[in-house]
Chains A and B, each alone.
Chain A
Amino acid sequence: MPSSPRLRLSQPFSLKFEAIGTSWTIEVYEAYDRLGDLQKSIQQRIAAFDHVYSRFRADSVVAQIAREAGNYRLPDDAAPMFNLYQQLYDLTDGAMTPLIGQALSDAGYDASYSLQPMPIRSVPAWQEVMTYDGATLTAKRPVLLDFGAAGKGYLIDLVAQIMVQADVRHYSIDAGGDIVTVGQTLNVGLEHPDNLNQVIGVAQITQGSICGSAGNRRRWATYHHVIDPHSLTSPKHIKALWVTAPTALVADGLATALYFAPADSLRRYFEFEYAIMHEDYSLVSSPGFPAQFFGADS
Chain B
Amino acid sequence: MPPESTSNSRQKTMVIVGILALIVIATAIALYAKNKDEVGTVTENPAQTSTTTESQASGSTVEYKDGTYSATGNYQTPGGTESITVKLTVANNVVTTSDVTTSQTSQEAAEYQAQFKANYSPFVVGKDINDITLSRISGSSLTPRGFNEAVDAIKSQAQA
Chain A residues proximal to chain B, CB less than 8 Å: 1, 18, 21-23, 25, 113-116, 152, 172, 174-179, 186-203, 210-220, 225, 240, 242, 277, 280-283, 293-297
Contact = CB atoms under 8 A, between A and B. Distances in A.
B113 to A, nearest CB: 15
B133 A187 contact: yes
Given A1-B133, A196-B58, A294 B125 contact: yes
Interface of B: 16, 19-20, 23, 55, 57-59, 61-62, 94, 97-99, 119-130, 132-147, 149-151, 154
B126 A192 contact: yes
A194 B54 CA distance: 9
B128 A214 contact: no
A189 B137 contact: yes
B57 A18 contact: no
A47 to B, nearest CB: 16
A228 to B, nearest CB: 17
A116 B150 CA distance: 10
B144 A280 contact: no
Nearest to A215: B140
A198 B140 contact: no
Contact of B121 (A211, A220, A282): A282
A116 B154 CA distance: 9
A239 B40 CA distance: 29
A45 B84 CA distance: 56
Contact of B134 (A18, A189, A215): A189
A189 to B, nearest CB: 4
B122 A177 contact: no
B143 A21 contact: yes
18 contacts: A1-B135, A115-B150, A178-B138, A188-B135, A189-B137, A194-B57, A195-B55, A196-B59, A197-B129, A199-B132, A199-B134, A200-B125, A200-B127, A202-B132, A215-B140, A280-B23, A295-B124, A296-B121
The 7 A-B pairs of least Cβ separation, nearest first, read: A191-B139, A198-B126, A295-B122, A176-B141, A216-B57, A214-B140, A113-B150
A34 B11 CA distance: 65
A86 B140 CA distance: 24
A191 B138 contact: yes
B141 A177 contact: yes
B122 to A, nearest CB: 3
Given A23-B142, A202-B132, A280-B16, A296 B137 contact: no
A195 B141 contact: no
Contact of B142 (A188, A190, A203, A217): A217
Nearest to A192: B126
A198 B97 contact: no
B150 A198 contact: no
Nearest to B98: A296
Given A178-B138, A200-B125, A242-B138, 18 more contacts: A18-B144, A18-B145, A113-B147, A187-B132, A188-B138, A191-B138, A191-B140, A193-B57, A194-B57, A197-B129, A197-B130, A213-B140, A216-B140, A217-B57, A217-B139, A218-B143, A281-B123, A296-B99
